[in-house]
Each structure stands twice: as structure tokens, then as C-alpha cells.
A and B are shown apart, each in its own frame.
Chain A
């Protein structure tokens, strides 16, 4: 508390600079970053590169054309250009992935923060909730939720978000439990800091590193989940150019027209690789102890 503001500020800045430098020197992390920036740019520019209109998007004279100079990814049974659809599918997958994870991070982190900080019966209930939600492996809970709510992209987003909440609850709670007993929090408490100040000024900022690492990796998982639900017919509905749904459509005739499934799959794979590479790099930079994991 007695450290002059300017000194504390410069300390923080050099720590940040140090991390940024380590990140920039991380080869696979930079590859991941490039992939993600590429996908984001292409998704943002999609309406400029290839305008898309679901209603007019068909050309029955060019049905099931294999990839060629005009249709570089080929066309489907309605003569729709796969390239255009993959391009616009990125807008869906990235948006849903980021929103689902974002909602889960905010809710899960707050719940985990309070559970860890207050302890007692609040914590008991929180742990119970975490255990219940984590009893459903992978996308099983999401499937159960969407199967009941009815298949749609919004419901898929809600379901994926719910399955990610316990991950952040557990993570934040465990970090808070260890930080709560640390000397700097104890001394802030002894100095009479208010509870809100303790939580949001001292405990939360110091739990951020593992949350940020998890967040990057979660977006990849969420993109895979959106696609899986789409493939099962539980996510985006036709004629939405969602990647998983496109693979579902292509699956019916993949012997005759494999390009229908191949290109959306590569798009999913690359975007998820991007987030996983970035997540690994962020972990190395923020939490060097975990480097080997």
C-alpha cells in the first residue's frame, strides 16, 4: 500500500513487457496467433469477399461440381458454392464459440470466486453443483439440454455454455482457496480492507492467469462442440452454413462428393488447432511451472 503509484505502475508494465516478449518468442504460439487472426479477418471480411444470401444461394445448373477454378471447394447438391459457405460458417463458429465461453467464464468465475471466498454452506452447494455438472462427460449434457429445448443454434450456445461453467467454477474456487490464505491477502484483511475490495482488488486479479489459459483452450473445445451438435442435427439448422451441419449434409453423399465434408472439416480443425496452440503458449508465458504439461 505504501509503494508509490508510479513505481508500482512501472513494475506492472515491465512484467507485462516481459510476458509479451516471451510470447513473441514462442514459435508455436505465434503460429496459433497467425491462424486465429487469419480466421477472424476472413470471417469479418466474408461479406466483402463473397456476399452470402441463403435464399438466393443456389445454382441448380452447377450441382455437385468437384473443386475447380470457379468453385475452388466445389458445390453441393443445390449448387451452393462450398467456399462461400465455409467462409460464412467461420462467422457462426467463432461467434458462438467466443460467446459461449465468454458467458461461461463470467458466470463460472463469479460463482467459483464467491464459493471459495465465503466457504461454508455456499461452498458445499457449489462443490455439489460442480460435481453434478462434471458427471456428464463431454458434450453429453449439451446433448440432453438441446434435445429437450429443441434444436437450434441459440440453444446449442446455451447448452455449451452450461457445460463449461463448472470448469471455471472449480478452477477459480481452487485458486481462490490458495490465495485466500496467502500473506498479502491476510495482511490486507488485517488492515481492514472491505470484503468487496478483498475479492475484486486482491483475490480476483491474482486468479486471472489460470482462467485466461483455460479460456483460450475452451474456445477450441466450444468450436468442436458447436460442430458436433450441428453434425448431430441439434445445432444450427439448414440452410445455415454452419461447419458441423455442412459435414452432416455432406456425409449422406461423401462417396460421390467428398469435398462437401472435407473442406468444412479442415476449417474446424485449423481454427481449433489455432486456439490450442495459442492456449499452450499462453500457459507457458503466464504459468511457467506448467510448461511441461
Chain B
């Protein structure tokens, strides 16, 4: 097992290397001058030159052959944009925002807890409703109820997330006034962060006023973000349940005279949940990319909103850093899902 984990971890290296290479290529090799893109067509040439020097864009992309042949040292060969970028990455330096000058890494660690909290609650929402709904539909296969659940699930994956978010705000925040339309916490309510996950923090501090307020802020964005994973979980649970219900051991359990409830909960559901766990893990990616849209609509101070603002400002180091961070996270979560899966299911061979 240890050997398997090590092998999988080593297998990540070429992929993560490729991801960094791709991001570098997208931002530097694609035709077009980033300085012009950032400053606009009408900016003065001197200003562009200064920004280019500031960002190190005046140096060669891959190898500094010119400087190496002038100075005769091999080290000078690596005085290039690419090695600068990789050197920074390896030492955890993602650059600074062009406008605020705040290091990208610092903003990431400040904002990630907000995104994580929203993602976890959205996932919770998806599982809490999705698994029972899927089981319910599977037990009534072919009935009107089954068709209805599956049709609703199919509509769930067809919603534009940002539009759903706007409609939720319009109905439940603006018209009914049940939930706040934006933000994480009502200004004025004191909360000393510990982990940065506000719901957890407020509970740890025993501050139930804040906990209630945080929860109210979380509900609408979590529903908007969780709808697509919810639909996926429903479909997966149903199909997995249907497969398991046809297995011999379920028939045996029934033949033994076990009650329907016991057959479903103890024998069928436990086995049916395996693929569902995978799907839940994999929807983490859907949630992270959906967070850009949801956080934008709800003014949620996470990574998604930050990247969105950076796009509007053409703040390239922030866009690069944010995209790189999410891609790395996604790759790691996928690996974790795979490993968990092989732990739960002993039939999987570690080879």
C-alpha cells in the first residue's frame, strides 16, 4: 500500500510540471504583449517598457544564450523568464498583484478558507439531499416518482450557476428577506477567526449569534453552488443502487426474510455508496470552478471572487496564481479520492 501511494505521488510530478508549463505558455508564449494587455492600447511606450522590465518580460523566454555567451558562464543561461518563474514557484513565491502589490501567496491563504467553507457546505447540501433522493428513486424504478426525480436531476445539471444564484437572491433575499444577499458575516458582529472557516470558528468560540449569522449567509450560495453536484449525486446513487439491488447477496438477504429496511440500509446502500463517494470527490472540481461564478454573484470574499476581480483588472500574476492553485488542489483531491477508494474497496489491486 505504501509503495502504491509513493508511486501515485511520483506520478503527479509530470502532471503538475505540465500544468506549470501550460500556465507559463498561456501567459507568455501566446502572441500579444502582456504589457499592452494590462495597460491598454493607448498607453505610452515608456510606461509599457517599465512594466515589462518590472515583470521581467524584457528577458528571453527560455534560455539567455546572449548573456551566457557574453559572460561565458553557464549559470547566465538560466537568467530567463521561465527559470525565474519556476524558481519562484519552487520556493513558493507566486509573485505579487500588480495593483495592490500584495503577494499572491498571502491573498491565497487569506481567501482560501472562505472558498473551502462554501465548498464544504455546498457538498454537504448535495449529499444530504442527493443520496436519499437517489435511493428513493431507485426503490421505485420506472414509476412516475422515479421519472420525476430523474427529470429534476437532469434539469439540475442544466442550470447556469450564476443565473440560479441571481434568482435565489431575488426570491429569498430581496423579496422574502429570509437570507442576506451577499457577504459572509454581517458587519458589526464580532468574530475572532481561528481557522478562517467562520462557521467552525464561531462554534469553537461559543459565539452562537455569529454562528447563526454565518449560517444564514452560507445557505443561498451553498444551494446555488451545490445544485449541479446534487444532481450528479442523485443520478449516481440511483444507478449504483439499482446495480446493487440486483446482486445475489441482496437477494440472499431478502430470502433470509430480512425486513426491507434492513436490506436496503445494511446490505444495499453500504455497497452502493462506493461509487458515490468517488463522484462526490470528483465534484470538488465542479465546485471550485463554479465558485468563481457563485462568489462573484454573492460578493463572497473567496478565491473565485478574487480571480474575477483580477480578470477585470487584468492582474496577471493573480489570475495565474489563482488558476495554478485551484488546478494543484484539484489534482491532489483527485489523488486522495483514488486512494480512499482503494482503501475502502479491498478488491482494488495496488498495481
Taking a contact as CB atoms under 8 Å apart, the answer to whether B158 and A276 are in contact is yes
A136 in contact with B297 given A148-B37, A269-B155, A269-B160 (CB within 8 Å): no
Smallest CB-CB A-B distances: 8 pairs? A138-B289, A137-B285, A265-B163, A132-B18, A272-B158, A292-B239, A273-B158, A137-B289
5 additional A-B residue pairs with CB within 8 Å, beyond A136-B19, A244-B162: A128-B14, A139-B289, A145-B26, A228-B160, A273-B154
Tally B residues with Cβ within 8 Å of A.
Answer: 57
Are the CB atoms of A148 and B311 closer together than 8 Å?
no
Which residues of B in the span 303-351 have a Cβ within 8 Å of any Cβ on A? 307-308, 311-312, 314, 316, 319-320, 323, 326-327, 330-331
- A144 interface residue, CB < 8 Å from B? yes
CB distance from B157 to the nearest CB of A (A): 6
Q: How far is the CA of A131 from the CA of B290 in the complex (A)?
A: 21
Considering only residues 116-169 of chain A, those with a C-beta below 8 Å from chain B are 128-129, 131-133, 135-141, 143-145, 147-150
Contact B22–A247 (Cβ < 8 Å): no
B30:A149 contact, CB within 8 angstroms = yes
* Residue ID in chain B nearest A131 by CB atoms: B15
What chain A residues lie within 8 Å of B290 (beta carbons)? 138
The residue among A132, A137, A261 with the most chain B CB atoms within 10 A of its own CB is: A137
Nearest chain B CB to A214's CB is how many angstroms away? 15
Which among B94-102, B166-174, B251-259 touches the partner chain?
A: B166-174
Complex CA gap A129/B15 in Å reads 8
Query: Which A residues are in CB contact (< 8 Å) with B34?
Result: 148
- Residues of chain A with a CB closer than 8 A to B161's CB: 228
**How far apart are A51's CB and chain B's nearest CB, in angstroms?**
27
Contacts of A150 in B (CB 8 A): 32, 37
Q: Is the CB of A148 within 8 A of B32?
A: yes
Interface residue? B217 (CB, 8 A) = no
CB contact list, B272-310 vs A, under 8 A: 284-286, 288-290, 292-293, 296-297, 307-308
Chain A residue nearest to B155 in the complex (CB):
A273
List of A residues within 8 angstroms of B297 by Cβ: 251
Contact among A28, A135, A148 with B151 in the assembled complex (CB-CB below 8 Å): A28
Number of interface residues of A (CB under 8 A): 47
Could you tell me the distance between the alpha carbons of A214 and B15 in the complex, rounded to whole angstroms? 25
A224 to B286, CA, bound (A): 13
Instruction: Name the residue of chain A whose CB is nearest to the CB of B282.
Output: A137
- The reply to whether the CB of B243 lies closer than 8 angstroms to some CB of chain A is yes
Q: Which residues of A contact B296 (CB under 8 A)?
A: 232
Q: Is B235 an interface residue (CB 8 A)?
A: yes
Give me 15 A-to-B residue pairs in the complex whose CB atoms sit less than 8 angstroms apart, sorted by A's number. A129-B18, A135-B16, A135-B330, A140-B292, A144-B27, A144-B323, A150-B37, A227-B160, A231-B162, A247-B160, A254-B170, A261-B167, A265-B160, A276-B154, A292-B239
